[in-house]
């Protein structure tokens, strides 16, 4: 994949058109690219400028433009938050698992010594700071204090980050798991089959009434609901991560924690994580000695952070921290890939 990392002096040379929107991530692009905004569907369709929109397939107006661009072969860019803190992805290939941008030949390339140092420094920063995609109930305690508080020392720990039931990646790519509630049922069954394993279950931070569906899980003596703790503390002590397709599974690469994915995930690759298609698979993988390939995981993280994702500063709403609403976005750079299928 050839990627253009636009130098700030030249960023205004890059031209886009979008529909009228108050989305702070799209609106924030005005300061770094030439962005035309229109409320006229026909005008946008007739324009020769590349179309860009925030998650365009979610709304009928933007989806109509998106599908038109695909049909006539006109460049169109799908914008969404990246899976790493303070990043945005602007992808011509579409949304996550639908996009060929993540095909292995685009990222699985040798890194130079300099690039290895750069990604290792970033990984250390990601692991060391409290930064997160979503609001967290607390600051980090540190692995020793966390393990002591939950009496985890010497135990095999599986971290289970739950997602939002109405999240697009859940609705589209759950596969055999079907939905979030079914996944919780599966976790309970797996816990019974693995009585010597401790499962740390954490609801998505902005889920509505998140604890309403998990107290029953706590009835299992080896399932702990850890909503009040920082997810990075959980990653610090985890021997495995079990998820449908959460972005936490992607970040687990930085910790070299083996991740078991039950749905479709854009970051699911051989020797980096494992794909389970049944409860028996999950149980076997939990008991297995799977080692994450350091080289492959670093290549993928380098690709995301330094070739695929644009970096930004996100200003959050102070009114309702649980909504995780971004009110303003300031871009530090713009990286726009040309999709190589």
Q: Which pTM was predicted?
A: 0.92
- Average pLDDT of 51-68? 93
Is residue 56 within 8 A of residue 86, CB to CB? The reply is no
User: Using CB atoms within 10 A of its CB, is residue 111 exposed (0-12), middle (13-18) or buried (19+)?
Assistant: middle
**CATH code that applies to domain 133-293:** 3.40.50.2000
Nearest CA to 272 out of 240, 305, 294 is that of 294
According to the model, what pLDDT value does residue 1 have?
Answer: 39
Does residue 322 surpass a pLDDT of 90? no
Which range has highest mean pLDDT (137-141, 314-318, 333-337)?
333-337
Structure tokens at 284: 């076997």
Does residue 13 surpass a pLDDT of 80? no
- Residue 293, SS3? coil
Phi-psi region of 73 (alpha: psi -120 to 50; beta: other; left: phi over 0): left
Does residue 8 surpass a pLDDT of 60? no
> Tokens 């290792």 map to which residue?
120
According to the model, what pLDDT value does residue 195 have?
Answer: 96
Does residue 136 surpass a pLDDT of 70? yes
Q: Of the ranges 118-122, 128-132, 176-180, which one carries the lowest mean pLDDT score?
A: 128-132
Q: At what angle do helices 113-128 and 247-255 cross, to 10 degrees?
A: 110
**Helix H or strand E segment including 128:** helix 113-128
Which residue pairs from 325-329 have beta carbons closer than 8 angstroms and sit at least 24 positions apart in sequence?
326/24, 326/25, 327/24, 328/24, 328/28, 329/24, 329/25, 329/27, 329/28, 329/88
Beta carbons within 8 Å of 160's beta carbon, 6+ residues apart? 187, 199, 200, 201, 202, 241, 242, 243
Between CA 327 and CA 313 the distance in angstroms is 11
Q: pLDDT tens digits for 67-82?
A: 999 999 999 999 999 9
- Average pLDDT of 285-297? 97
With bands split at pLDDT 50, 70 and 90, how would you rate the model's confidence at 11?
low
Structure tokens at 68: 């038109």
Does residue 190 surpass a pLDDT of 50? yes
Q: How far is CA 302 from CA 115, 117, 194, 243, in A?
A: 8, 10, 35, 23
Percent of the chain clearing pLDDT 90 (strictly above): 78
According to the model, what pLDDT value does residue 133 have?
Answer: 79
According to the model, what pLDDT value does residue 306 have?
Answer: 97
Is residue 186 within 8 A of residue 262, CB to CB? The reply is yes
Annotated domain spans of the chain: 2-108+300-338, 133-293
Between CA 164 and CA 241 the distance in angstroms is 17
Tell me the β-bridge partners of 53: 78
Cα 186 from chain centroid (whole Å): 22
Instruction: Using DSSP bridges, classify how beta strands 156-161 and 326-331 pair: parallel, antiparallel or unpaired.
Output: unpaired
- Average pLDDT of 135-153? 89
Q: Virtual CA dihedral for 190, 196, 202, 203, nearest 10 degrees? A: 30
Angle at the Cα of 186 (from 184 to 192), degrees rounded to 5?
110
Beta carbons within 8 Å of 192's beta carbon, 6+ residues apart? 220
DSSP letter, residue 305: I
């Amino acid at each position: 994949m050839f990627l253009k990392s636009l130098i700030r002096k030249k960023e205004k040379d890059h031209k886009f058109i979008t529909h009228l929107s108050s989305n702070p991530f799209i609106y924030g692009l005005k300061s770094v690219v030439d962005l035309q905004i229109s409320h006229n569907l026909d005008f946008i369709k007739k324009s020769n400028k590349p179309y860009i929109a925030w998650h365009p397939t979610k709304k009928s107006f933007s989806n109509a433009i998106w599908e038109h661009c695909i049909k006539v072969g006109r460049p169109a860019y799908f914008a969404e938050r990246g899976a790493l803190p303070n990043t945005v992805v602007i992808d011509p290939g579409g949304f996550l698992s639908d996009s060929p941008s993540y095909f292995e030949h685009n990222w699985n390339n040798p890194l130079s010594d300099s690039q290895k140092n750069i990604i290792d420094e970033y990984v250390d920063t990601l692991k060391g700071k409290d930064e997160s995609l979503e609001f967290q109930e607390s600051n980090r305690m540190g692995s020793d204090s966390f393990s002591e508080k939950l009496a985890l020392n010497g135990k095999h720990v599986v971290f289970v980050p739950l997602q939002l039931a109405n999240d697009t990646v859940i609705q589209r790519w759950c596969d055999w798991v079907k939905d979030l509630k079914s996944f919780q049922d599966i976790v309970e069954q797996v816990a019974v089959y693995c009585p010597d394993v401790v499962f740390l279950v954490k609801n998505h931070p902005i889920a509505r009434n998140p604890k309403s569906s998990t107290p029953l899980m706590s009835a299992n003596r080896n399932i702990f609901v850890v909503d009040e703790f920082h997810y990075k503390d959980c990653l610090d002590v985890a021997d495995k991560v079990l998820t449908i397709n959460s972005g936490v599974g992607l970040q687990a690469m930085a910790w070299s924690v083996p991740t078991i994915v039950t749905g479709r995930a854009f970051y699911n690759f051989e020797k980096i994580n494992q794909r389970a298609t049944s409860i028996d698979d999950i149980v076997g993988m939990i008991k297995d000695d799977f080692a994450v390939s350091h080289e492959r995981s670093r290549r993928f993280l380098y690709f995301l952070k330094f070739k695929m994702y644009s970096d930004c500063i996100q200003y959050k709403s102070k009114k309702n921290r649980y909504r995780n609403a971004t009110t303003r976005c300031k871009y530090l750079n713009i990286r726009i890939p040309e999709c190589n299928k």
